[in-house]
Amino acid sequence: MVPSFNVLDGNRNFNLDVLRGFAVFLMLLVNLPGSWSYQYFSFKHAVWNGFQLADLVFPLFLWIVGFSVSFGYKEGGRSVLKWKKILIRTSLLVSLGLFLNFFPKFSPENFRIPGVLQRIGIVYSLTTVLLYLFGFRRYVFFVFGGLFIYTFFVWFTIPKEGMISLNSDFPDLDLKNNWASVVDRLLFGIHVWKETTPLDPEGCLSTIPALSTALFGFLFGLQNQNQTNGSFFKAKIILGSVILIVTGIFLSYLIPLNKTLWSVSFVLFTAGISQLLYHLLEFTGKYNRSLFNWLSLYGKYALFVFVFAGVVARLPAYSLFRKNVFQLFVSVTNDTYLASFLFSILMLLIVWVLLKIYEFFRRFD
């Protein structure tokens, strides 16, 4: 099967780079404000139940993981399990994630074990291995079956005195008294995200529904590789995306949108948005690709940007720089929220310039 979309730099999928670049762009807006105290509401994660624009970043990354895996899978047969490639990628992602959690204090007692890169690495490796072991149909059944079982136990039951009890407060869940937090406490102890302890937003149990997000990306990737240019295919894609989004919204009245627990409504809602975004970017790029060239640069070097931003944001020099620039923007705009947002834009521009410089010198290799 030959991908039927625009390609940049050999076998790179331009539209996928653009979507990944959008995810990185949004991530930097969320993670690099001028002040955490003055951040626009949409750029904050929902504290528990609910959904904000910031909550779309991670599902986009995992959906893209699934989409990317689809290129190595042959419909009607089994994908070739490239152990070396899988081990290298997974080890790199997990190691970098652990390093970022350890940097710069290198304090074992405050060390967080789970993380964004760790989950991406685990979801990638599980997706490729499960596809190889089970084949396409059983893989789909296994992942969706896991999502169903996870949903039932985490939302409809609670741990009580070492036993399984029905959740009498359904659909409400206590942050500390649910199965995801019990597993994280058992496996990681205090080595989780400090703001949600003992439950980690990238914890162990919620990796199960996160696999479903990658599965939706994988299914869309297979479908997109066999697409035709007819209007029927485009209408089907749009309709499918809208159905996922609407189903997620309606289901949220039963099981709330919850990024920390990666609820089933959250899976469907964000998968629909991811699918629709890709189609819109692909459709728009056909008429004016230059619109997204700048955005694709973030996507081509997404891992570098993630690590670079994570390291820089933890440096004392950056804190001083952020404080002074933020105060300068406040004095100019007389608006703390706008000043904080403008600082994020400045950091986005700095990262883009660095990537552009790297691309320039890369031509001489």
**What is the average per-residue pLDDT within 163-171?**
84
Predicted confidence (pLDDT) per residue in 31-88, tens digit: 999 999 999 998 999 989 999 999 999 999 999 999 999 887 754 555 556 788 889 9
Alpha-carbon span 22 to 272, nearest angstrom:
16
Q: Which amino acid is at 103?
A: F
Per-residue pLDDT, 94: 95
Which residues, including other chains, have CB under 8 Å from residue 203's CB and lie 6 or more apart?
Answer: 114, 180, 181, 183, 184, 188, 192
Contact (CB, 8 A) for 339 and 333: yes
pLDDT higher at 228 or 202: 202
Question: What are phi and psi for residue 74, nearest 5 degrees?
Answer: -105, 120
Alpha-carbon span 302 to 320, nearest angstrom:
26
Least confident residue range of 89-98, 230-239, 331-340: 230-239
Predicted confidence (pLDDT) per residue in 227-239, tens digit: 656 676 778 888 9
Q: What share of the chain is helix, strand, coil (3-state, %, to 5)?
A: 70, 5, 30
- DSSP one-letter string for 195-229: TTTTS-TT-STTHHHHHHHHHHHHHHHHHHHT--S
**Burial 55-91, CB ≥16 within 10 A → b, else e:** bbbbbbbbbbbbbbbbbebeeeeebeeeeeebeebbe
Q: How far is CA 147 from CA 102, 112, 267, 275, in A?
A: 31, 26, 10, 20
Around 177, how many Cα atoms within 13 Å sit in the side-chain half-sphere? 18
Per-residue pLDDT, 108: 82
Q: Is the pLDDT of residue 144 over 80?
A: yes
Predicted confidence (pLDDT) per residue in 185-196, tens digit: 999 988 888 888
Per-residue pLDDT, 154: 93
Q: Is the pLDDT of residue 120 over 50?
A: yes
Per-residue pLDDT, 79: 56
Q: Is the pLDDT of residue 4 over 50?
A: no
Per-residue pLDDT, 7: 32
**What is the average per-residue pLDDT within 308-330?**
95
- The whole-model pTM stands at 0.91
pLDDT band at 95 (very low <50, low <70, confident <90, very high): very high
Which residues, including other chains, have CB under 8 Å from residue 18's CB and lie 6 or more apart?
Answer: 281, 285, 292, 295, 296, 299
Contact (CB, 8 A) for 90 and 121: yes
**What is the average per-residue pLDDT within 268-278?**
95
Per-residue pLDDT, 78: 54
Per-residue pLDDT, 170: 85
Per-residue pLDDT, 11: 56
Q: Is the pLDDT of residue 143 over 80?
A: yes
The residues pairing with 94 across neighbouring beta strands, listed in sequence order, are none
The pLDDT mean for the chain works out to 88
